[in-house]
Structure 1
Amino acid sequence: MPAEPTEVQVRPGVEADLAALTDIYNHYVQSTPITFDTVAFTPEERRPWLLSHPEDGPHRLKVAVAADSQAILGYATSSAFRAKPAYGTSVEVTVYLAPDAGGRGVGTLLYKALFEALAEEDLHRAYAGIAQPNEASVRLHERFGFRHLGTYREVGRKFGRYWDVAWYEKDL
């Protein structure tokens, strides 16, 4: 794993982060196929998402901040994989970085903190869906022990074309 940037701190997400987290997510909504949302959100529309990730439990939100400025560099979440009760020991995980925060080890720090927090929970598997192509995300997930399960071909349509999603799994 790359050396940890000393200028980055990872902590649980809080209400005061909502606007910045929404801005980061909206970048991906408006500019990339990484998320299949197609319309930008207001912070108020994203509030239920934030509140669904408390500081403890299996559904977490970790935020990376620059130590000097406290600017939010990105976030990682674990969320419900599916709504049915038998899926309760599985989570879907994801990382979103601010547009200028890539390639600095921030994603690695976020996942390290997230998986350390989840180690104390009654969880069995983590899953990640990665819209293709996205080599940086594939490398990050493989670095954390995720293995490719399969690919849904042309499962989402955005920006006038179809996109594949590769699915990855990790034992917890």
Structure 2
Amino acid sequence: MPPAWTIRHATPADGAACAAIYEPYVRDTVISFETEPPTAEEMARRIESSLAEHAWLVLETEGEAGPEVLGYAYATQHRTRAAYRWACDVSIYLDRDRRGNGAGRALYAALFPYLKERGFHRALAGIAIPNEASLGIHRSFGFTEVGTYRRIGWKFDAWHDVTWMQLDLNPENQEAPSQ
């Protein structure tokens, strides 16, 4: 990681910066299936909710006006049923001008050990396809494809597929999880 970058746990105060990064993904792409960009307040609520049991990290650098958030990665609940409690969904978003420089790799490299430490055994990622960049970074961390939901999301007047991938965060431990 370049020395000018810092990765830290997000706080609700990062809501505006994260919302600004996320907004073009919602507005211009099918990378997100949301159709309306969340407000800064809604993003702050999501950060707070994620931090309670999972994680939300931001990557920042020192800008002209102080620290500047360049991207974020987070984990959320996979499903609501109790037996799924050791699995989580993960996502990563970078400022669109900052992609391809290792920032995403740095965020995931910080996120996955933290999730393992918190007792999670499986990380899952849903990727609207085609998206070779996202498939590539996930594969590089050891994610494997487990299936594709065909024509599952309707956005921009078309159906879109989502490929699901998973990563075993704790492959050496096959014991029953702690309650």
Q: What is residue 128 of structure 2 aligned with on the other side?
A: 131
Q: TM-score, normalised by structure 2?
A: 0.89
Q: What is residue 81 of structure 1 aligned with on the other side?
A: 78
Name the count of aligned residue pairs: 167
- CA shift for structure 1 position 115: 0.9
State the one-letter code of the partner of 1:104. Answer: N
Q: What is residue 66 of structure 1 aligned with on the other side?
A: 61
Match of 1:5 among 2, 6, 31: 2
Question: 1:131-166 CA deviation, whole Å, 9 max, x = no partner?
Answer: 011111111101111001111111101111111101
Q: What is residue 177 of structure 2 aligned with on the other side?
A: none
Q: Which runs of 5+ in 1 are unaligned?
A: none
Q: TM-score, normalised by structure 1?
A: 0.92
Question: 1:42-95 CA deviation, whole Å, 9 max, x = no partner?
Answer: 1122232111122x74x1001000145521110000110001111100000010
Q: Does the Cα contact within 8 Å between 1:5 and 1:104 map onto a contact in 2? A: no
Q: Does the Cα contact within 8 Å between 1:5 and 1:106 map onto a contact in 2? A: no
- Give the SS at the match of 2:96: coil
How many angstroms apart in 1 are the aligned matches of 2:118 and 2:12?
Answer: 23
State the one-letter code of the partner of 2:58. Answer: V
How many angstroms apart in 1 are the aligned matches of 2:158 and 2:4?
Answer: 39
Q: Which runs of 4+ in 1 moved over 3 A?
A: none
How many angstroms apart in 2 are the aligned matches of 1:97 and 1:46?
Answer: 15
State the one-letter code of the partner of 1:115. Answer: F
Q: How does 1:27-106 map to 2 (within 5 A)?
A: 27-54=24-51, 57=53, 59-68=54-63, 69-106=66-103
Of Structure 1 and Structure 2, the greater helix share is in: 2
Q: What is residue 148 of structure 1 aligned with on the other side?
A: 145
Q: Does the Cα contact within 8 Å between 2:126 and 2:162 map onto a contact in 1? A: yes
- Give the SS at the match of 1:127: strand
Match of 2:16 among 6, 15, 19: 19
State the one-letter code of the partner of 1:85. Answer: A
How many angstroms apart in 2 are the aligned matches of 1:165 and 1:76?
Answer: 19
**Pairwise CA RMSD of aligned residues?**
1.3
How many angstroms apart in 1 are the aligned matches of 2:150 and 2:80?
Answer: 24
> Larger Rg: 1 or 2?
2
